[in-house]
Structure 1
Amino acid sequence: MSDRREIAIVRWPGRTPPIEDGLAALLAAYHLRTEAEKGEPAADVAGLPDRYRGEITDPRTAFADDVVLVALLEDAAVGCLVLTSPAMGQSEIKRLWTDPDFRGQGIASALLGAALAHAAENGVDTIRLSVWEWRTGAIALYERLGFTVTQSWDERDQLVCMQRVA
């Protein structure tokens, strides 16, 4: 018998318990950690660049055309992922984040699996993503799921671009 709780992946917004605050907290943690890792720490959400602050304060508008997946353990939001709307058979994964207190439980894998299934169901044949080179655990996970490093479409230094073709 396992003491692991079941992870539910839900599409937001949707007919789920109200999780907007949990999603905002996940996005805030993601952006604050990323900015700190880039050497540009912000003390709080108010110190983040406008575009990131907008995702946190109004995710409904920021991701209006995208699919937002949220991982729930019971009613707590413990992970998130954004899949951009398809364009020319291609979508992009953004904002994959698992609450550090819940890592190692398969949450990121479950979110990625749900995103890949959603993309396939909607005719997407190429999924791309970018990840900071110091996030080696994330890169290893992406590689296990069939993503490969590809030519960069982003000029930012230390950013690794990857894609998976169906």
Structure 2
Amino acid sequence: MSRICVYLGSREGNSPAYRQAAQALGTVLAERGHTLVYGGARIGLMGELANASLAASGNVIGVMPDHLVEREQAHFGLTELIRVPNMHERKATMAANADAFIAMPGGIGTFEELFEIWTWGYLGLHEKPMGLLDTEGFYTPLLAFLDNTVTQGFLAQTTRDMLLDAATPEALLDALESQLR
């Protein structure tokens, strides 16, 4: 099956819904036979996602730069933990090991990863599906901003349409899987 890269927070956020969504996504990825590729941490939403996938007998690949192994508290119970020398290698390794991308709620690192992989798609460096898991409307303001960027003439509708979104893990995976076939 496919390898799905998930970008998400190393913190849990203020709503229990974010933790629940990470657990649900990890479970459904494993149940559908997908391998999870993510940043390799055992804390925050990252840890919840990985643990849920592992608990559902899924394969989980973590990618973490050496200098963050201690800082982010690497998850050593994964199917595979790939250690890389820096953040650039981390992002490139995650992208090379993925067939699709999902961004869950997170902070500045999640946003940076999302916009970089979307830019790579726009530039034709990959043709892999990408989506936002809009848990509790977390990404709704961003989606409105992006739609306004189209309206204002700074973003083509075809580029905006590359970024899928759904409120549940199942609906988002359905949309991504339809593009993987």
Of Structure 1 and Structure 2, which has the larger fraction of its residues in helix? 2
Of Structure 1 and Structure 2, which has the larger fraction of its residues in strand? 1
